[in-house]
Chain A
Amino acid sequence: MTDASLKRISIDPLSRVEGHGKVTILLDDENKVQQARLHIVEFRGFEKFIEGRPYWEVPVMVERLCGICPVSHHLAAAKAMDMIVGAKLTPTAEKIRRLMHYGQILQSHALHFFYLASPDLLFGFDAELAKRNIVGLASHHPEIARKGVLIRKYGQEVIRLTAGKRIHGTGAIPGGVNKSLSADERAALLKDIYAIIGWSREAVALVKQLFETHCEHYRTFARFTAPAMCLVAPSGAMDLYDGGLRARRADGAPLFDHADYRRYWELIGEDVKPWSYMKFPFLKILGDAEHGWYRVGPLARVALCDFIPTPLADHERKEFLAFDDGQAVGATLGYHWARMIEMLHAAETIKELLHDDDIRGRELLATGQRQERGVGVIEAPRGTLIHHYRVDENDLVIRANLIVSTTHNNQAMNEAILAVAHQYLDGQQITEALLNHIEVAIRAFDPCLSCATHALGRMPLEVEVFGADGTACDRALRDSQGRFLRH
């Protein structure tokens, strides 16, 4: 594949709306699959959007970057601004933020599993699309769908009560939080948390049962090996709010551990490619973008932590690691299982925090020595999220760099698609089965395309195959009504 031919693949900026993804599959001279490239909405413009703003506005501004994970951006930015103001959080402030964050993890994972993933898993990858979605799920498995709605609602309520508003919340501010919980708010959340934990356990059991039933398929589908990275607590425990960076090779060999994320650029490089708006992060210790790509998110976190600090989720972690001699850990579909383990962990953590009197405290804000640079890193639902800012003497942001979770998984998603294409692309023609399986592989990562608009009227997925000479062999798409169309 020559550079000249690569340049012939263009991304239509008008397609950069939520829900639209484009995949190109590149063939070699023998019409064998050589590369797969996922072009999704990129976050180009994020940094410019933030630069020039007063630093205290940033935690609220960045919520506008994404309609799905505003809380993750809010908290990552707030952590960076804690550094700018030189503050060490009070126990109340940290625990309120944790409560907010685990509420976000809970609702985000619930949305993904009940709305996007479980229809694939329950109906099969080739089931008609009219059935293979949340609506089909609600028709055929009404209790599962019902619980999904209620878990989502509960997570959103946690966010509302900690952030102060249903959306555009201002819960976290540089150096602390705006509010703690009242007795009534705590009681309201405690009332339902035990049901939420029970339903989360059921969700883990459901995924586990699916793995047991379809073990061979789940083990081999879109399989590839890769290094992984996430935050862990000083004890090695899973910690989705704070910690040091840990990375390991695919075989488990350590690359770095408990690394200070405030100097993440010493560990992580960012490459660009001419065909994508999305950056290609890599671990510098492994060389360049071609050799140093990695994966993040639930699968990485469950596999890399030494333990999960809540009992039910840790029990499930052990089951997950032991399943099929550890094969689920390297399976792309293992993301679903790991995600549900994290959802259970989030529910248990929320329960523990609600029983902690610090969340009713009044010491909300801390101050310190003003700094020029702030870095905030958090484990967002989809993986490690990095916010990095420089602020001048006028309190204005003069530089911003964001590495969002979906970007970390950029090459990993391409590898998953490549594995699917090797398995399901026969010749040069895109079949509906191929498109279905590409969708399932991408969905496992739960990529967030919501950092763009969602306005009505756009198609969700387009697949193209290019020959070695750069000419298009075939193009097909799934339109907004779920129809498979060939062009």
Chain B
Amino acid sequence: MTAPILIFGWGNPSRGDDALGPRFIDELSALGLPDVECLSDYQLQIEHALDLAGRQRVLFVDASITATVPYAVRGPISASAAAPGFTHALDPHGLLRIYENFYDAPPPPCFLLEIRGESFILGAPCSEAAQRHLAAALDWARKWLE
């Protein structure tokens, strides 16, 4: 049985504020919310398009260097043709396009929660500022899920 709501966070838990996505997922998972599936990964990848199938709503969560403090919410976001450059990771807009082509159908409504990060050093903990941003983002998410 596919949960109607998917929350998907990504990032490297050992790179300072890059842990914001996985930390968000850990905190939300601990609430045991019904009808919500929480997934995390290091990066957003092409096969994650398959995780969007059968959902009513999707929330993507990532750390952002450019988001407003403490977080920014965008959406419903649309499929787009973002250029990959050298990165092996995909952005949510590109993932939605993969979904459209794979299923020949529009994706479910998807939103992007960008939590402002400040420092991304290997081995560093989440910065104090990022932890405040995370708390604020979680407050927002609880309302979004109501």
Contact = CB atoms under 8 A, between A and B. Distances in A.
Interface of A: 16-19, 21, 40, 45-46, 48-49, 61, 64-68, 70, 111-112, 114-116, 129-136, 138-139, 142, 145-146, 148-150, 152-153, 156, 166-167, 439, 442-443, 447-450, 452-461, 478, 480-482
A453 B45 CA distance: 15
Interface string B83-124: 111111111001001101110000000000010010011110
A152 B83 contact: no
B83 A130 contact: yes
Contacts of B11: 453-455
A77 to B, nearest CB: 14
Contacts of A481: 82-83
B120 A455 contact: yes
Contacts of B67: 456-457
Given A111-B46, A142-B101, A450-B43, A456 B84 contact: no
B94 A449 contact: no
B46 A461 contact: no
B77 interface: no
B63 to A, nearest CB: 4
Contacts, number: 179
A457 B66 contact: yes
A64 B122 CA distance: 9
Contacts of B66: 456-457
Contacts of B18: 453-455
B131 interface: no
Nearest 5 A-B pairs (CB), nearest first?
Answer: A460-B85, A482-B83, A67-B42, A19-B87, A457-B66
Interface residues of B, number: 50
5 contacts: A40-B86, A45-B123, A67-B42, A130-B81, A461-B86
Interface of B: 10-18, 39-43, 45-47, 49-50, 62-67, 79-91, 94, 97-98, 100-102, 114, 117, 120-123
A460 B87 contact: yes
A130 B84 CA distance: 10
Contact of A482 (B62, B82, B123): B82
B94 to A, nearest CB: 6
B72 to A, nearest CB: 10
A367 to B, nearest CB: 29
Contacts of B64: 455-457
A460 B49 contact: no
A134 B120 CA distance: 28
B27 to A, nearest CB: 17
A134 B62 contact: no
A128 to B, nearest CB: 10
A371 B119 CA distance: 38
B129 to A, nearest CB: 14
Given A145-B98, A455-B117, A457-B66, A111 B81 contact: no
Nearest to A456: B64
B90 A134 contact: yes
Contacts of A138: 97-98, 100-102
A157 to B, nearest CB: 9
A18 B87 contact: yes
Contacts of B39: 166
Nearest to A66: B42
A336 to B, nearest CB: 15
Contacts of A64: 12-15, 122
Contacts of B40: 167
Given A114-B46, A455-B63, A49 B83 contact: no
